[in-house]
Amino acid sequence: MKKFSVRDLSIRYSDDNESLRKINIEIEANAITVLFGPAGGGKSTFLRVLNRLNDLADVKTMTGEVLFNGVNILDPKLDVIDLRRKIGMVFSRPVPLPLSIYENVAYGLIMAGERNKKKLDSAVEAALRQAVLWDEVYDRLSDSGFAISGGQQQRLCLARVLALEPEVIMLDEPTSALDPVSTAKIESLLTELKEKYTIILAPHNVQQAARMADYAAFFLMGELVEFANGKDMFLMPKDKRSQDYITGRFG
């Protein structure tokens, strides 16, 4: 099943910094789709279109179509709040909100209007367990979200997204600020989570891309150069540019 169908998506920022040109891609449900390529290629921009986080940025023009479950999410009349609850996002640096661990995880639900303490409690516990963080923090849920290590913080950010029971989880270089052990934890977690969720990952290096990809999309300077399933992409890339990048000739 296709979660997203993107057709001819082009976007320009007012400061002409990063932009996307005519992106066409289909994103499969219950799989990990990896977006990779050198910095500034448009991966983050693309992710921020999918949950309309781009609304916060200074976008000059945006054309094309992004269908999410068959509905065009670029429609200005769309309820973006609801969309963002269905499409969670984890960022490159762990950013706990300046709240307690508990409040961090419950944040999305509370913002959505959930007041029932019991429901919140069980949702928080479930999310923390799913993010394999429960055992490390269950006895200090009221501590600040900043009081735990970087790796734990990033799993907290993941739990925060999971608590909303989204359909899609997007991760923008989620392990770039983490040590190898924490990175491995997050990676194995993602492999488990794809049973339930659609995962879109912008890894911070080619190795991670190759390890994680069910599908892989190579972004270069605002263009989608090649899109294929993971094995094909990393074993026999068709495009010369993807090949050069994967083999380390540039990037």
Residues forming the site for another protein (CB under 8 A): 51, 53, 56, 69, 71, 73, 75, 77-79, 81-85, 88-89, 91, 93, 95, 97-99, 107-108, 111-113, 144, 146, 157, 160-161, 164
**What are the helix (H) ranges across the chain?**
43-50, 80-86, 101-111, 117-130, 134-137, 150-162, 180-193, 206-212, 230-235, 240-246
State the nearest-atom distance from the C-beta of 189 to another protein, in Å: 19
Q: Whole-number minimum distance, CB 216 to another protein, in Å?
A: 24
Residues 6+ apart with CB under 8 A from 187: 175, 208, 211, 212
- Written as one letter, the residue type at 85 is R
**Nearer to another protein (CB atom), residue 172 or residue 226:** 172
Give 88 or 237: the residue with its C-beta nearer to another protein: 88
Least separation, in Å, of the C-beta of 37 and another protein?
22
Nearer to another protein, 73 or 228 (CB): 73
- Whether 4 and 49 have beta carbons less than 8 Å apart is answered as no
In the bound state with another protein, the residue whose beta carbon lies nearer, of 41 and 96, is 96
**CB neighbours of residue 169 within 10 Å:** 24
CB of 17 to another protein, least distance (A): 10
**Residue 154 half-sphere exposure toward CB, CA atoms < 13 A:** 23
Least distance from another protein to the Cβ atom of residue 56, Å: 6
Helices (H) and strands (E) in the chain, counts: 10, 10
In the complex with another protein, which residue's Cβ is closer, 50 or 220? 50
> Residue written as tokens 């499409």?
87
Residue that has been written with the tokens 């000059």 in this structure: 60
Distance CA 105, CA 78 (A): 26
Cβ at position 97, least distance to another protein in Å: 6
Residue 38 vs 98, nearer CB to another protein: 98
